[in-house]
Amino acid sequence: MDWKEYEKEVFDSMQMEYPNASISLDQKLLGDHSKTKRQCDLLIEEEIAGIQIRTVVEAKFHKRPIDLKGVETFIGMLEDLDVQRGIMVAPSGYTKAAKQRALRASTKLELDILNPQELKDFQAHCAIPFAEDMGVLMRAPFGWVVDGSSELPWPAMLYLQGLDPQLAFDSVNFMYIQFWHKRNESGDVLAKLIESQNETIIDHYGRQDRDKIRIAPGPKRNDCRTLIRTAHVGPNHCELTGFADFSDFIFFCVAHCEEPDTSLNLRKIWNLIETAVPAKVERRSSKRAPNYQNT
């Protein structure tokens, strides 16, 4: 893969990540301060709540992690342009200093990793995780992978590409998905599930964090109700959960992250719940499959 092919891979991935946006390659925007046209690898234009949002994407095809200087150069360009967000994509990740600098940029800046050639066993950008007869068709957030290895306690786990489950745990930046079978339960099953989970969160982190749990509407869907729970629990820790209340089961995705990553992961959870497609799983093998219990 050369840099041009990599740029096309980023373009295709962004089209999946932002299906309702206009995405164009190799655009030139006039800088507010420099009064010079600045070259942008990709420009994403979308309307959210009546507001026009522009995102500049820079695809860096480097063998080594992007360093502080590389991120600061991109930040300088973003500050010169009238855009709301920047995304830098690289196949080999970023240095610690570069990540810290991105968090403190005046323009919202996300650093992502995309390297299709280095996917590990049981990792993919798209997957059909399932439990019993419940399943969903889903794709990982940009720069992340879906891991369906059998050693995991959940049907699937999601984390940044280039990591493995243990490194993802250690970095406190990962997600997992789970299903809740309704089994002819009466009433508002989702409300009961959330109430039970809230009690578990409070028991684990402490009663002082009860007021730090918030429930809000999720993305609008025609086929199900969705909710988003935000729980600011523990020191500098946040647990985000997105729920999709389908007819026969509830699909939910839980993200664990440190406070600086909350807004980024909230968008990823939102997109996962918005785009997940419910599926009915039928087994045609006599081999017994793992039995994931409601948890």
pLDDT of 212-230, one tens digit each?
Answer: 899 999 999 999 999 999 9
CA nearest to 94, candidates 136, 143, 41: 143
| Distance (Å) of CA 33 to CA 26, 30, 59, 78 | 21, 9, 24, 11
Q: Could you tell me the pLDDT band of residue 30, with boundaries at 50, 70 and 90?
A: very high
Q: What pLDDT was estimated at residue 49?
A: 62
d(CA 156, CA 147): 6
Q: Where are the alpha helices (DSSP H) in 81-230?
A: 96-103, 165-171, 189-205
- pTM value > 0.85: no
d(CA 43, CA 126): 24
d(CA 13, CA 149): 24
pLDDT of 80-123, one tens digit each?
Answer: 998 988 999 998 889 989 988 987 888 888 888 787 666 666 77
Fold of 119-280: Protein Transport Mog1p; Chain A (3.40.1000)
Q: What pLDDT was estimated at residue 126?
A: 83
Task: For the chain, give every domain's residue range.
Answer: 3-117, 119-280
Tell me if residue 36 falls in helix, strand or coil. coil
Q: Above 50 in pLDDT, residue 290?
A: no
Q: What pLDDT was estimated at residue 175?
A: 95
Q: Above 90 in pLDDT, residue 24?
A: yes
pLDDT of 163-205, one tens digit each?
Answer: 888 988 888 889 999 999 998 888 999 999 999 999 988 887 7
d(CA 10, CA 17): 10
Q: What pLDDT was estimated at residue 259?
A: 74
> Position 106: which residue type?
S
Average pLDDT over the chain, rounded to an integer:
86
Weakest-pLDDT range from 24-33, 47-56, 152-161, 200-209 = 200-209
d(CA 237, CA 5): 38
Class of domain 3-117: alpha beta
CA 67 to chain centre: 23
CA nearest to 167, candidates 141, 147, 153, 150: 147
Q: What are phi and psi of 119, to 5 degrees?
A: -65, 140
Q: What pLDDT was estimated at residue 247?
A: 93
The DSSP code for 19 is: T
Q: What pLDDT was estimated at residue 118?
A: 64
d(CA 17, CA 61): 20
| Distance (Å) of CA 154 to CA 60, 74, 170, 292 | 34, 38, 18, 7
Q: What pLDDT was estimated at residue 265?
A: 83
